[in-house]
Chains A and B, each alone.
Chain A
Amino acid sequence: MRKVCVAGVGMTKFGVSEKSCIELFAEAALEAVNASNIKVTDIQSVHFGNVFGDFEEGQAVMGSFAAREIGCPPSTPALRYEGACATASVAIRDAFIAVASGLYDVVLAGGTERCMAMGTPLATRTFAMCTEGKYESYTGITFPGVFAMMTHLYAKKYNIPLAKLKERMAMVAVKNHYHGTMNPLAQFQKEITAASVLKGFMVCDPLQLLDCCPFTDGAAAIVIASEEKAKKMVEKPVYILGAGQGSGAPLFRQKDITVHEARIAASKKAYEMAGVGPKDIDVAEVHDCFTIAEIALMENLGFYDFGTASEAVERGESKIGGKLPLNPSGGLKAKGHPIGATGAAQAYEIVKQLRGECGARQVEGAKIGMTDTLGGDATTVVDIIYGI
C-alpha cells in the first residue's frame, strides 16, 4: 500500500439552500479541484456520497450526473455511496483504498444532501429508515429516539442522576455552538446558553430541541492523491495515516447501546494502521448528532474510560484550548448535518486545522487529527486519522 494524501478541499455554506444536490456538490468539488491546482479532467474516479436524493429531489444515480456536471469525461467512473450519516466518510475511505492500491493517482470524494427539501415529517421518516426495518421501525422509533434511549441507559448504567447528565449534555451543545461562532460556513453562528438548552421543547424524552443537530443542506468534497502527485499539487499535503470502517447489528442485538461495537472496531483499525493511539490525537471532528452522542463517542473512541466522559465535558476538556478539542468547526450541532456530506465536511475541517488555516478556531500546533462518522444506529461507522 502506498502513501496517500489529501490535496485540496472544498465546502459550501451549510444551512438552507435553493441549489440542487448536484449543484451543491459541484461547487464544493470545483473548490477542491482548484485548491489542488489541477483540472477536472485530471480526476480519475468520483466517489460521491448521497443518502436521500431519491426522496429530496426524486433523483437517483446522482453520482454519474455529478461527474458529468463538473466536466468529467465519459471515461470517468462515478460511484454513489450510502452509509446513512457516515456516507461521505465511506466514500473517502474507498477513495483512499483506490489510490493506496495504485489503481488511481487522483480521485475526488465527497457528498451532498438537501435534507430541508423533505420537510420535518418526511425527513423524520426517511432518517428512521436507517433503523432496522423489520424489527425496529414499526415501533415508530426515530433517530433522536435512539439517542434518547441511549441517554436513559447511560444514566442508569453509570448511576449519574439524569438531571446532572442533562446539564453536562447541555454543555456539549453550548461548546459546539460557541465553536460554530468562529466558522463562517456553519449553519448556526450564535452562542447559546445551557439554560436555553434545558428550556427547549421535548423532542423525545429526555432529549430537548437543542440536544439535537438540525436538518441541513450542503456539500463538501476533497481531492485524494498519491503522495508523489499530491506533493506536486499543493504545498502542504495532509496524509491519510489510517482508516477503519465497521458494521453494527440492529440495536436490539447490540443490547447495551452505550457501547458501539462498530465504532470500537473501526477506530481500532484506524489507530493500528496509523500507528497511533487515542492519546496521540490533537484534534477531532466527531459525530455529535445529539449531545449524548458526543459523550458516548469520547468513550468508544478510547479518549476516556467508559462512564467518565461527561465529567471531562464539565471540566472543559473538549473545548478549543482544552486537553482534546472536539468539533472546532461547530460539529454537526452548530455547523449542521447534511447527512451525505458530513464526513467530507469533517475531513475539510481537519485538513484545514492541520494546515493551520482555521483562524480564530485554530487548534494550535495540531499535527494529528481524526474524523469519526456514525451512520444509522452505529450501523456504519468510519474513523479516519490524518497527519501532517
Chain B
Amino acid sequence: MYKLTYKQYFDALKEGKLLGLKCNDCGSYTAPPKLCCDKCGSTSTEVVSLSGKGVIKTFTVIRVSPEGYEAPYIVAMAELEEGPWLMGNLINVDPDKAKMDNIIGKKVTVSAKILPKMNYTPDEGVTPAFVIAE
C-alpha cells in the first residue's frame, strides 16, 4: 500500500538522495512521504527524486536541548523547489552568528545527518542537513 515508507525514505536520504511522491492526479509533490498526496488525498502517486534545493523560510538556535542532543545548534525549515517544506539542521553556520538577515531567504542544498538509536527511538534516525549554497 505504501509507495515510500519512512525507512525507504531514510535509506535513500543517507545516500544523498531526497525522495518524494508526485501525485498522478493533481501533479503536486509530497515530501517527506505519507500514505496519500498531501494536497488532494489521492493514493495514485509515484516515487520521484527531488532536486534537494530550497530556500530557508525560518530557523531557531536551540540553546536548551532535549536529552541526547548537544546545544547550541540550528533548526530550520526550508521550502524545496518542488513545493514541500522540510525541517532540518542548518550545519554550515555558526549558531552564535545566526540572525534573520543572514539566514532567512538563503538558498540551501539538502544532505543528511544520521543520529544513533537513542532511548525511545525505534532505530537510528536520519534528518535533512541544510547547507547554505552561496
In the assembled complex, B93 has its CB within 8 A of some CB on chain A: no
B residues less than 8 Å from A125 (CB atoms): 66-68, 120
B residues less than 8 Å from A253 (CB atoms): 38, 84-85
From the candidates A149, A155, A205, A251, name the one contacting B63 in the complex (CB within 8 A): A205
For window 5-22 of B, CB contacts with A under 8 Å fall at: 6
> Nearest chain-B residue to A256 (Cβ)?
B57
Interface size class of B (residues with CB under 8 A): 35 or more
B residues less than 8 Å from A145 (CB atoms): 60, 62, 75
B residues less than 8 Å from A129 (CB atoms): 120
B98 touches A205 (CB 8 A): yes
B73 touches A140 (CB 8 A): yes
CB distance from B102 to the nearest CB of A (A): 12
Bound complex: CA of A126 vs CA of B134, how far in Å? 37
Which of the listed residues A153, A162, A207 has the most CB atoms from chain B within 10 Å of its own CB?
A: A153
Q: How many A-B residue pairs have CB under 8 A?
A: 109
B residues less than 8 Å from A204 (CB atoms): 60-64
CB distance from B117 to the nearest CB of A (A): 11
> Nearest chain-A residue to B70 (Cβ)?
A140
A162 touches B89 (CB 8 A): no
B64 touches A140 (CB 8 A): no
B57 touches A142 (CB 8 A): no
Interface SS, B side: strand
Bound complex: CA of A267 vs CA of B126, how far in Å? 36
A155 touches B100 (CB 8 A): yes
> Nearest chain-B residue to A150 (Cβ)?
B58
For window 98-128 of B, CB contacts with A under 8 Å fall at: 98, 100, 104, 113, 115, 120-121, 125-128
A residues less than 8 Å from B125 (CB atoms): 134, 137-138
A125-B68, A139-B89, A252-B77 known; A149-B60 Cβ under 8 A: yes
Bound complex: CA of A145 vs CA of B74, how far in Å? 10
A-B contacts besides A125-B67, A156-B104, A255-B85, 18 pairs, CB < 8 Å: A121-B65, A122-B67, A134-B6, A135-B6, A135-B86, A140-B75, A145-B60, A148-B60, A149-B76, A155-B100, A162-B100, A204-B63, A204-B64, A249-B38, A252-B32, A252-B84, A255-B57, A255-B79
Which B residues fall within an 8 A CB radius of A?
6, 32, 38, 57-69, 73, 75-77, 79, 84-89, 98, 100, 104, 113, 115, 120-121, 125-128
Which A residues fall within an 8 A CB radius of B?
120-122, 124-125, 128-129, 133-142, 144-145, 148-150, 152-153, 155-156, 162, 201-207, 249, 251-253, 255, 257
Closest 4 CB pairs of A and B: A148-B60, A138-B125, A125-B66, A140-B69
